[in-house]
Every structure is written in C-alpha cells, then in structure tokens.
Structure 1
C-alpha cells in the first residue's frame, strides 16, 4: 500500500467519523406529536409519560468504547498502571464533583486516545509520503494516543486541585459562621443546615449533602465521617473529627472551630507567601533571558557598527 492510499484511508475514516457525529447531534426538526404534547400533563399517573419526557443525552462517541471493549479489557492492567486504579479515579471524580461516572470517564479517555491516534497516524502518513521512515507513523500513533488519554487524566487532576483550593479558601469563613451559630445556642445539625442554606460555595454544598444524608436517616456522625473520607482535605478532616467528637462525647466545639478557622487563615497566608515567592522567581526568567540580552544588544550594537564602518 502506497503512502497516498494510506493517507486517503486515514482522511476518509476521519471525515466519515466526524460527519456521523455531527449528523447524530443534529436535532430532528419536525412538529411534535400528540403524545409528546400530552405527556407533560400526565406525569403523575403514567410511567410511560415520565419515560417519554425524561431527557435522553445521546453521545455518539460511546460506540467507539463498545467496539474497542474486548481490546480494552485485555489492556486494563496496563491502563490502571498508567492512569490509576478504578478506586483512585473514582475518588478523583468525587473530589472534583464531576457528573461523570468511572465508566464514562474511561470511555472519554478511550475516545481521546483514539482521536490522538488518528491525528498521529495522519501526521505519520504525511511524513512517510515525504520520505520518512515507516517507523515514524507507528511511533507517532502510540505517543499521540497515550497523550490523549493522559490529557484527560491531567485535566481531572487539575479540576481536583482547583476545587480543593476553593474549599481551602472557603473553610475559614464557614468555620467562623458555624462557631457563631453554635455560640448563639444552636445545635450542630441546625448550624450545618443554616450554613448549607445560606452558603453558595463548594464547602457549603458539601455540608448540604451531609444535612440531606442526615435527614434521610443516616446519623450525622456517619455522614460527617463519609464527607471527610471522600474529600480527603486536611482542614475538612480536622473539622469533621472535632464535630464527631462533639457529637459523641459532648466536647465544646465553638472555641475549637474558631481556633481552626484562625489556623486555616494562617495556612492560607503562608500558601500565598509561598506562591508569591515562586512567582517572583518565575518573573526572573523573561527578565534574564529576554529583557537583559535585548538591552545589552541595543547598547553594544551601535558601537560595533561604528567600529565596522570606521575600520
């Protein structure tokens, strides 16, 4: 098979996949049928109407994961070694509060890997057409496929870091509000419910989950323990331990939460100073390698030019 034929196959497959995905996502432009118009008014008495009205998200890229399932099952140990075990990925998804399940995230990684392989194969085929070694397309295909899968995992880890940073910034305010509510005479459950109702941040949302679990029958101590284990945030874990101790042994909590809020603010100040120090060092890179050579060149070039012209 010549390079032109291989390039034609790669381009045709890419074009066909792209067109199929676009056609699958185009909404059907037609007049709604009678049952679609009546279904919203009989949701309380008809299970079929509820199924009809329920929104179904169609993802045409899932077929790639279904087709490649036999191969992915055999490569599962290698994938787990490179991209993390299912428990690790599930914990990252929970900490990032991602709507994706583990299976959907693995399917996304597979799709990104296939897209990277297509791009690598296309570039490699072009290189072969221009006279490169036949090993180049294979190497590019492997590298770009692995890069696509690793990129999805890196974006997930980045989302986890950003969310943990937001929780760290919200922690002092939430702790002070809890301490104020407890000092005013409210119980811990009522204080958590008040923070979850008034707050709008990530930590307030997590406390709202705790309150909902407690309202559904789970003990407040178990719900707090589950929150600390799932978030795996040092500050939140310490606060959860103190709250569970107050619930189980009746220890005072308001002063402890105020002290932890102050510790959290001090930690945020230290992190800010550390980040400022790193940025200061990073600012020296363009100064030393960009501005300083340019200044030296502007200072020396006129003298060099005069010496060359004069002599």
Structure 2
C-alpha cells in the first residue's frame, strides 16, 4: 500500500469517526438543549443581541455558527448591485444570506472534489491534475449559485414585460373613469396577482408610509430594471410633473408595450426557427441520405443490378 493510499484511507476513516462523534454529541440531551441565554435572549433584545439570535455565552463551539456564517458572508461582499439583483429576481433572502448560501455551495463542491480525489487515490488512478478538482468544483458551485440568481432575475423580468401592457391599459381605464393615480394603482394592486402588481402594491404601501408617489414609482423602476417599465414610469412621472393627461400617456405607453411584445415574439420565433433547423440539418437530412444511398452501395458491392 502506497503512502497516498494510506493517507486517503486515514482521511476516510478519520472523517467518518469524527462525523459519528459529532452526531452522537448533538443528540446528548444536555448539549442539544438550548442554553439559558439562548432562551431568554428574544425577551431582552435591548440588552442582548439586536436580533435576539446570537447566544450570550455559547456552550459548544458550533452554537452560534449562523452568526459567524453571516459575518463571513458579509465579508465576501454584499453590495448594492447584489441587493438589486435579489430584488429583481423576487427572492426574499438578503445579500448576506445569499452569500452564505453561495459559500455553502462552494464548500459542497470542494467536499465533492475531495471525495473524488480520495476515490481516485484508492483506485490507483490518481494524477497530478486531479488535485485541482476541489478548487474547480468549489468555483463551479459558487458560479452555479450565481447563475441561478441571474436566471431567476431574467425569468421574472420576462414575466413583468408580459404583464406590463395589461397593467398599463387597466390603469388608463381607471384614470379615464375619473379615479386618481394613487387610487388606480391601489385598484390594480388589489385586482392583479402577477409580479408587477405585487410590486405596485409595495409602491402604494410606500406612499402610505411617507414616500411621494413619484419616489415610490422611481424606486419600483430601479428595483425591477426592466427597460419597457422604466420608460413607462419615466413618462408617467414627467406627465405628473407637467400636469399632462395621464390616461392618454398610459394608453400610448400601453400601445408601445404591445408593439415591443410583438417585436420580441417575432425575434423569439426567428431564433426558434433557426434552432429547429439544427436537428433537421444534422440528424434528419443525413439519415435520409443514408437510407437513400446505402441500399445502392450494398447492391453494387454484391454485384446486383
């Protein structure tokens, strides 16, 4: 048995033993029960942790791991761009929680890479390149978490663009019926059940807590970051400032949104048409040629005909 194999076996056995010991220790009643400081902290938040989550005197090293994880995740970066992406995707978690989850994905990838390295060592297939598996899989895990956020934000933006023409037309109808803009927005938020109407409800709630309607709509536009919605809100805010008729502005914006939706649909149809040609050119056409030529080649080889 080589030295590398001995080290791999030691890592597997030691890790299994340590995991078993920790699992047994977690089930011991005296250790598994929350501490006194942990139980009373939510009732004395003014003199304890502001969130009432971090124990005053942890009894075990892993008690309070969530607070340490959040501090580490905050150190990785929780900037405003990430906050906007999370809000655009509609995720309820904050930036620190997302970074913590991304860190967990990276650690999981590194663990999988380490397991693969141990397996390769035990089967005598270890190569110098295999040492790069843990960091590569860790980077892949972090990148996958970020890609999930980007894809969720893109899907939600697409849903907002689909809902925009209907919402603008309904707002124009309410304004033409004599309602004010705030009442029309409140009615749309109460009737609708989509992504955009949910954001409109938040904007109306913000106007009830001290924000002006223009500021609330501007924040809605910046948080969703959808070009068609941003143009409509900019035109609406300009109409409010200049005293222009809002119903006509909204009807024009709804017509523009309909045209944008038609153009996007045509573009998607063109892309799908090209994608549909791929199996036709590379799969169906070669098989048709093969079925047409192969019998003749066989007959020529056999001397028939």
TM-score (norm 2): 0.77
Q: 1:149 to 1:247 in 2, by over 3 A?
A: same
Partner of 1:210: 203
Counterparts of 1:195 and 1:156, CA distance in 2: 28
Partner of 1:270: 263
Counterparts of 1:70 and 1:294, CA distance in 2: 57
Partner of 1:120: 113
| Correspondence for 2:8 among 1, 6, 10 | 6
Partner of 2:242: 249
Contact 2:203 2:217 in 1 (8 A): yes
Q: 1:206 to 1:291 in 2, by over 3 A?
A: same
Q: Does 1:92 align with 2:94?
A: no
Partner of 2:282: 289
Counterparts of 2:195 and 2:154, CA distance in 1: 13
Structure 2: gaps of 5 or more residues: 27-41, 44-52, 54-61
Partner of 1:160: 153
Q: 1:65 Cα shift?
A: 8.9
Contact 1:114 1:145 in 2 (8 A): yes
| Correspondence for 1:190 among 165, 168, 183 | 183
| Correspondence for 1:169 among 147, 162, 168 | 162
Contact 1:7 1:122 in 2 (8 A): no
Counterparts of 2:183 and 2:297, CA distance in 1: 79
3-state SS in 2 of match to 1:251? coil
Counterparts of 1:68 and 1:15, CA distance in 2: 29
| Correspondence for 1:109 among 102, 106, 112 | 102
Contact 2:109 2:141 in 1 (8 A): yes
Q: 1:120 Cα shift?
A: 1.8
Partner of 1:34: none
Partner of 1:145: 138
3-state SS in 2 of match to 1:100? coil
Contact 1:125 1:137 in 2 (8 A): no
TM-score (norm 1): 0.76
Counterparts of 1:285 and 1:15, CA distance in 2: 53
Q: 1:131 to 1:169 in 2, by over 3 A?
A: same
Counterparts of 1:175 and 1:108, CA distance in 2: 37
Counterparts of 2:127 and 2:103, CA distance in 1: 25
Counterparts of 2:16 and 2:248, CA distance in 1: 63
Counterparts of 1:154 and 1:218, CA distance in 2: 34
3-state SS in 2 of match to 1:186? coil
Structure 1: gaps of 5 or more residues: 25-46, 49-55
What pairs up with 1:212-231 in 2 under 5 angstroms? 212-231=205-224
Q: Does 1:280 align with 2:273?
A: yes
Cα deviations across residues 189-214 of structure 1 (Å, max 9, x unaligned)?
A: 11001000101111111110011011
Q: 1:243 Cα shift?
A: 2.5
Q: 1:19 to 1:188 in 2, by over 3 A?
A: farther
Instruction: Identify the range of structure 1 (191-200 vs 284-293) with the bigger mean alpha-carbon deviation.
Output: 284-293
- RMSD, matched Cα: 3.2
